[in-house]
Structure 1
Amino acid sequence: MGNQGRKTPRLVADRRYGKTAKAPAKSRAKTAARKPATPTRTRRKGGGGGSGGGRGPVAWIRRLFRWVLRLFWVVTWRVTAVVLLVTALAVAYVYAGLPDVRALLDGRARGSVTMLDREGDVFAWRGDQFGGVVTADTVSPDLRNAVLATEDKRFYRHFGLSPRGIASAIRINLSEGRGPLSGHGGSTITQQTAKLLCLGVEYDESEWESEADYVQDCRRGSLSRKAKEAIYAMAMEAKYSKNEILSIYLNRAYFGGGAFGVEAAAQRYFGVSAREVNASQAAMLAGLLTAPTRLAPTTNLERSQARAATVLRLMNEQGYLTDAEAQAAQNDPATLSEAAEAQAGGYFADWVMDSGPELFTRDTTEDVIIQTTLDQRMQRAAEEALDWVFENKVSDGSEAQAAIVVMSADGAVRAMVGGRKSRVTGAFNRATMAKRQTGSAFKPFVYATALELGYEPTSIVVDEPYCRNIPGSGQWCPENYDKKFHGRVPLIRALAQSYNIPAVKVAESVGLDLVRRVASDFGIDNELAEGPALALGASESTLLEMTGAYAGILNGGSSVTPYGLVELKLLGEDDPLMRKSGGIGERVIQQEAAQKLMGMMYEVVQSGTGARAKLPDRQAAGKTGTTQAARDAWFLGFTADYVTGVWMGYDDNTPLKGVTGGGLPADIWRETMVRVNEGVPVKDLPMIRVEPQPQVQQLPRSQPRQNQDRDRDATINRMLNELLGPATGGQ
């Protein structure tokens, strides 16, 4: 009521919200300064294309990019975490299954053969060789360093994988036009060891067609295989020390030539232990790891030496060798030992493997040591003699072949050359595999039969025109090589000049079947001809058989079985499983007959068809042989100590031009025996020499066929029942 009559005051906003004080001048100025922001908001609202706002295309792209990055990060770290977890579990699983390191040092399947010569020195190997366990600490430091420099220079710094190495390998492969995983692999030594172990999967015959398929599968380079290899490598790094991994690698890696592990390789190529190899030898061994078969020094020494030079350079660059040491090794490259130069024993070793017991040679599942009869000095002598004759007396470009066998009188083979290329393995051996007609080289067995039946070297046979009617073939008239007839000639001259007609007449006189038996008993173990051409060497034989048969003459008339194996035992065992499977057998002719035959064969060399085989310092006896159309040429003979056989011809039976047994084969024989007998004391042949004048006894000039058959049957019975009698054993 007290307000009645008063004027009601006007209501204004600031009174509703309280009285507002006036802003100072500075504040009003600042407010005024901020007013231009209003037009900016107006432009954004109006859809203007300003660059500093958050609603334009650029801002949208930025927001999208940030969102993708955030999504990628969220997904990546989760996937990475899962991958790392799975990898860790896989590594742990593999780790749990890894065996003790000692069980991994030799994973090679047993089944090797090591051959020793007559002196006990190694000259050949067959099968996969393992020289014995070595470790990274026991091998030569040069060898360990060469392997590291070549295969994995960061070996002691990585965890089993080398990202830098993998990236480098991919870059090189792409630059060379290959796929990223083709060619260079960037594998560490640990990864290579995992591959050598086939990721722990052992060979099972029931699961694989062959061991070669198993090995091929182990070497696959697929992406999944690489992933498994990486896991296995990391598990190995966790389980074993670096030196243990390197030791496994050094023992399991293949170095060519059938050698597994550095010890076997060092022994095979250099004849020394892996503990003793020098820098140049170590570099050659390490260089083989990239391509062991192609780079093996027994395959191509120059190529292997070139690769070793690269390894030496790497060793120098990485500080393993000083400049002076590297240069010295470069100036003195590694060379092969004598045994390695023999190319794994050549024809002789192949023959021993083929003729030995299959269970302990071709199909052995054990490591076998075989002592043999080989004399490496004589082997070199035979090879050098063959090379010399072909270089000096055979026209260039000739494809004629030759073979040589040297043996002792008891059949022990001392040297064997099966062809002009002597340093081979698994090649066709013309000394043991080629069956060729023997020609006149067969005639000594005709005269051996006659001498055994009582004829003398001076007994007379008439060399005259002679024909026989051969059932089913018609008339057959043999001829002498000189196309002449020589009338009455003693047997010793008939053999020395290799007359054909006297040989046929003597063979028919004593009986072809008896000649056949004597030849067979001496070791010519092939189907012998049935007709009179038997006396002229129409039958086939190998050089080894013929040489063995001549050894029977030298030893006094007893058969021999050529042999090369002396003793066989398992590696690490002292007692042999078997001893020699050859040698002197039963007597074939009496010693006196053999000594007379030697005297006749001595005249072949002294004054007959074999004069070019005469030796300068000792007596020699032998016989030439040339077959029809000169398709084969032979010379076989002996001194007091050794028997040597030589064959020459073409593999396709092409006739030789101007060659007879008394020509080039006699030259090869002489060159061989001169070298073989170097340093051997001179001894005379155990022969009975005869006077050249003929005796009264004469072979029948002609007889009715019925009388010939009767006399032949009587001769056979007399020889079988009286002269040969029961076996008397060897002498």
Structure 2
Amino acid sequence: MRQHPSTPLSTRIKRAALWLDAWLNSFLFQSGRGLASAYESYSEKMKSLRFRGPLRVVLDLTSEATTLGTAGGIVMLALALPAFRETEDDWLKTQDLAVTFVDRYGQEVGRRGLHLDDSYKLEDFPDYMIKAALSTEDRRFYDHWGIDPIGTMRALVVNTQGGGVVQGGSSITQQLAKNLFLTNERSLERKIKEAFLAVWLEFHLTKDEILKLYLDRAYMGGGAHGVVAAADYYFGKPAKDLTLAESAMLAGLFKAPTKYAPHVNLPAARARANEVLRNMVEAGFLTEGQIQTARRNPATPVSRERETTPDFYLDWAFEQVKALAAEKKFGTERVLTVKTPLDTSLQRHAEELLESELRQNGRQYRAGQGAIVVMDVDGAVRAIVGGRDYGQSQFNRATNGLRQPGSSFKPFVYAAALTTNPKLKPSSTVVDAPICLGNWCPQNYGRSYAGSMPLVSALARSINSIPVRMSVEIGKGNAKAGRTVIIDTAKRMGLTHPLANEAPLPIGAAEVTPIDMASSYAVFANGGYRADPYAAWEVRNSSGEVIYRHDRDTPPKQVLETRVVNDMNFMLNKVVTEGTGRRAGLEGIPTAGKTGTTNAYKDAWFVGFTGNLVAAVWYGNDDSKPMNNMTGGTLPAHTWHEVMDFAHQNLEIRPIPGVDPGPFARVATSSRPAADQAQGPTSAFLAGTLSRKSFEVLGGIGTLFQSAERSISTAKESGVPRMTGSVEASRQVAMP
């Protein structure tokens, strides 16, 4: 039988490929025909559903509206989320406190919170007051849903015709949203948040509740928050007794409390009150005849002799009290009297000094704002100046203004280096030479390098390359690891805001607040203990019982070794005596501190301390525009000197740890209360309520003793025999 030869493998592969190709072509052809047939069938069915004429227009518009509405809803949700996050906490309870603040002498200096408003219901307010507020601020209040488009359009028309801001467009609900949740920052972001929060408030509160909150919380000048406080402050009477003329004058304060405050500018306040009366007629609340009596007999405020209140301090103190309340430090108590370390005379002096310095030197340096904080070495805050004019801007630059510290940040770097390397001393030799981290190469202020020098000289001269080299050495060759240690040191000492781990950090490329800088430097002044700033020395409830004391409820915590503190203070003292901070030096008082200047002169600092007090001074512009060559060693150091020289009058000077007091210690003379010699919350006068006059009498007695001592010293120098039993002169001669 004849055998057929087998088919070669290559032939079989070719045949299989031809078969696959044929099958694929057939499949695609059949699939294409099927899809075409299905599409034709679908098209025929769709033709039967096609609409023409008006119905098609309606359907097209509905479709477009649905598409745009969905997209718009997503955008609105994205914009609303940041606003609604402001309401995550128990927002209505954040100010559910009635707090009376007294200064270190026990004298009342202001109130915050509900301020007796818990006893006032909306119906307790005079009808005139409510109608005056509605006619001037929001005539359609009971008709809109938080945002009033009609009122906004009316305001736009009036403002366009008037060529400026003649009428506001924000509803009462929007203004309340700003007061409750936001700041006075003028930005699109703030306005968007305000709008969403206004709608949110309308869904969560009734109209009467919104109006009541607005009348309770609005700032009305003179430190008065709310109509009840304003009625008492300006007219010395309860809000329920306000007349029509007085109600009109108060209603004129809601949007311009400084401009129309009657104790500041009575003619302007009365002119504004006339506008409010006219608004009440236009809104239909009153007739022309009903307002004539009020026009002929305008309101007259009680004399306040241009009183000022420490509003920046009180705002911050109230935030502190609210935080303690949130921690349940006061139990269920809501009516509180808080004794603060506030030194009213120092506060007033600091406010006047800042304004005077900016008025005299602001144009030369192109500086528009400043901030000052003074505190005891344990963190008890004596004075806060958050800006030039609280009435113009309630933004507190001393407690909330984040600015770059420049070289005033370097002590944190040096402290970290001394902590990690016990062999490093102020006398250790360091080298000022070029250094680069990647593409970043820091330069010194004079754009030159000085070579080898002692560590103490590097800090006194504010050399930039040295702290950068330290960051590398702290991290054992890893700069990022070294900066992590520096950040940890700074946070332990008191800086509370996030610090970016970036190459320029060691020379001050971070964001800090003046009050945090002051509290951090207090660690040097007090021997190494954390000194969180505080305003509540002692808190009493409505029955007068002590329910909180800072010294009892806040134990100290050491954050720096004594060795490190002593070495740092030795070097920081040299900054003042031999370095960039000479203008800050206090005659006869050991002083230490550090200057700070940022790129393009956007910020200028001096932060320093004595054995008694710590202070931070900042100058700059709110919009971060560069100043004209202002460094920390110029106006900030001079301002620091003036503030601290005043603050140390009649204090028993304490030494700085690590700095030889030598001939520095002095006893200052002044008419200021001698009781200021007491330091910290354990002082005897804390629990007392002596008046300022009583302290002045004590101060006078001290002055008499000092005069007697000087007379004895003079007699001794003249050879006159000293009487037995006389007081030895104890005042030491100050070093020039």
C-alpha contact 1:288 1:295 (8 A) present in aligned 2: no
Give the corresponding residue for 2:528.
Answer: 557
| Cα gap change, 1:335 to 1:212, in 2 (>3 Å) | farther
Tell me, in whole angstroms, the C-alpha distance in 2 between the residues paired with 1:520 and 1:207. 41
Aligned partner of 1:348 in structure 2 is 313
Deviations 1:585-613 (A, max 9, x none): 42222123212211111111111111121
- Measured against aligned partners, the alpha-carbon deviations of 1:198-224 in whole angstroms (never above 9, x if no partner) come to xxxxxxxx99964763586999xxxxx
Which position in structure 1 is the counterpart of 2:432? 463
- Tell me the residue number matched to 1:589: 560
**TM superposition shift of 1:352:** 1.8
Find the aligned partners of 1:337 and 1:424 in 2 and give their Cα distance.
Answer: 20
Structure 1 pair 395–533 and aligned structure 2 pair: CA distance change class (3 A): same
Structure 2 gap ranges (5+) = 1-94, 120-200, 215-221, 271-299, 476-481, 663-736
For 2:118 and 2:204, how far apart are their aligned partners in 1? Answer: 29
Q: Deviations over 1:36-84 (max 9, x none)?
A: xxxxxxxxxxxxxxxxxxxxxxxxxxxxxxxxxxxxxxxxxxxxxxxxx
Out of 652, 658, 666, the position equivalent to 1:681 is: 652
For residues 548-580 of structure 1, the C-alpha deviation after alignment (integer angstroms, 9 at most, x for no partner) is 100011011122211112233432342426757
CA contact (8 A) 2:263 2:301 kept: no
Change beyond 3 A, Cα 1:131–1:436: closer
The residue correspondences of 1:232-251 to structure 2 (distance < 5 A) are: none
Report the AA paired with residue 433 of structure 1. N
CA contact (8 A) 2:230 2:250 kept: no
Q: What is the CA-CA distance between 1:448 and the residue it aligns to? A: 1.6
Counterpart of 1:462, as a letter, is: V
Q: Which residue of 1 aligns with 2:465?
A: 501
**Which amino acid is 2:398 matched to?**
A
Per-residue CA deviation, residues 608-641 of structure 1 (Å, 9 max, x unaligned), is 1111212234221110111122222111001221
Secondary structure, aligned partner of 2:439: strand
The answer to whether the aligner puts 1:475 opposite 2:439 as a matched pair is yes
Q: 1:113 to 1:396 in 2, by over 3 A?
A: farther
Percent identical? 35
Per the TM alignment, residue 450 of structure 1 is displaced from its structure 2 partner at its CA by: 2.8
Q: Give the AA of the match of 1:384.
A: E
Q: Is the 8 A contact 1:403 1:431 kept in 2?
A: yes
In the alignment, which residue of structure 1 is the partner of 2:112?
126
Distance 1:406 1:495 in 2: 24
Look up the SS of the partner of 2:537 in the other structure: strand
CA distance in 2, matches of 1:675, 1:605: 18
Asked if the contact 2:386/2:395 (under 8 Å) is kept, the reply is yes
* Alignment-derived partner of residue 653 in structure 1: 624
Structure 1 position 674, deviation (Å): 1.9
Are residues 1:430 and 2:397 paired? yes
Please point out which of 108, 114, 121 is paired with 2:100: 114
Q: Is the Cα–Cα contact under 8 Å of residues 440 and 537 in structure 1 kept in the other structure?
A: yes
In 2, the alpha carbon distance for the partners of 1:110 and 1:518 equals 37
State the one-letter code of the partner of 1:499.
Answer: I
Deviation at 1:653, TM superposition (A): 1.9
Q: Are residues 492 and 636 of structure 1, via their aligned partners in 2, closer, same or farther at CA, if it must alter by over 3 Å?
A: same
Partner Cα distance (2:630, 2:473) in 1:
32
Partner of 1:637: 608
Correspondence list, 1:388-537, <5 A: 388-395=356-363, 398=366, 400-422=368-390, 427-452=394-419, 453-468=422-437, 474-511=438-475, 512=482, 513-537=484-508
Counterpart-to-counterpart distance in 2, 1:556 and 1:639: 12
Q: 1:256 to 1:606 in 2, by over 3 A?
A: closer
Deviation at 1:465, TM superposition (A): 2.1
1:213 pairs with 2:208: yes
Q: Are 1:622 and 2:575 counterparts?
A: no
SS at match of 2:374: strand
TM-score, length-scaled by structure 2: 0.53
How many residue pairs align between the two structures? 444
Q: Please tell me whether the aligned partners of residues 128 and 260 of structure 1 are also in contact (alpha carbons under 8 angstroms).
A: no
Deviations 1:528-567 (A, max 9, x none): 3424422111222111111110001101112221111223
Q: Is the Cα–Cα contact under 8 Å of residues 456 and 571 in structure 2 kept in the other structure?
A: yes
CA contact (8 A) 1:446 1:503 kept: yes
Q: Compare 393-402 and 640-649 and name the one that shifted more.
A: 393-402
One of 530, 537, 543 as aligned partner of 1:572:
543
Aligned-partner Cα distance in 1 for 2:212–2:234? 29
Contact 1:116–1:370, Cα closer than 8 Å, also in 2: yes
Deviation at 1:483, TM superposition (A): 1.0
Native 8 Å contact 2:583 2:633 kept in 1: yes
Mapping 1:55-70, distance limit 5 Å: none
CA distance in 1, matches of 2:487, 2:301: 58
- Structure 1 residues 116-265: aligned runs within 5 Å: 116-130=102-116, 210=205, 213=208, 257-258=224-225
Deviations, residues 470-517 of structure 1 (Å, cap 9, x unaligned): xxxx33322111111111100110000000112222232233132222
RMSD: 4.5
| Alpha-carbon distance in 1 for matches of 2:576, 2:226 | 48
Aligned counterpart in structure 2 of residue 612 of structure 1, from 583, 587, 610: 583
Letter in 2 for 1:115: F
Q: Structure 1 residues 500, 379: CA separation in 2 closer, same or farther (over 3 Å shift)?
A: same
User: 2:384 aligns to what SS in structure 1?
Assistant: strand
Shift of 1:460: 0.4
Partner SS for 2:401:
coil
Q: What SS does structure 2 have at the residue aligned with 1:476?
A: coil
Change (3 A) 1:587 1:684: closer
How far 1:367 moved relative to its partner?
3.0
**Hey, what's the Cα distance between the residues in 2 that align with 1:429 and 1:573?**
31
Q: CA contact under 8 A between 1:112 and 1:365: conserved in structure 2?
A: no
Task: Provide the secondary structure at the position in 2 that maps to 1:357.
Answer: helix
Q: CA deviation at 1:581?
A: 9.8
Q: How far apart in 2 are the matches of 1:390 and 1:214? A: 43
8 Å CA contact 2:519–2:531 kept in 1: the answer is yes
Q: How far 1:381 sits from its partner (Å)?
A: 2.0
1:294 to 252, 255, 259: 252
Change (3 A) 1:295 1:519: closer
Change beyond 3 A, Cα 1:433–1:482 = same
Matched residue SS, 1:404:
strand
Query: CA distance change for structure 1 residues 566 and 689 in 2, over 3 Å: closer, same or farther?
Result: closer
- C-alpha deviation, 1:417, in angstroms: 0.9
Classify the secondary structure of the residue corresponding to 1:336. coil
User: Deviations along 1:670-723, whole A, 9 cap, x unmatched?
Assistant: 1211222223234443333699xxxxxxxxxxxxxxxxxxxxxxxxxxxxxxxx
Label 1:498 to 1:397 Cα distance change in 2 as closer, same or farther (>3 A).
closer
Q: Is the 8 A contact 1:633 1:660 kept in 2?
A: yes
Q: For structure 1, which segment, 609-618 or 437-446, has the greater mean C-alpha deviation from structure 2 after superposition?
A: 609-618
Q: Does the 8 Å contact 1:256/1:288 carry over to 2?
A: no
Distance 1:359 1:447, change over 3 A: closer
* Aligned mates of 2:223, 2:353 — CA distance in 1: 31
Whether the 8 Å CA contact 1:647–1:665 is kept in 2: the answer is yes
Q: Which amino acid aligns with 1:505?
A: R
Q: Is the 8 A contact 2:406 2:507 kept in 1?
A: yes
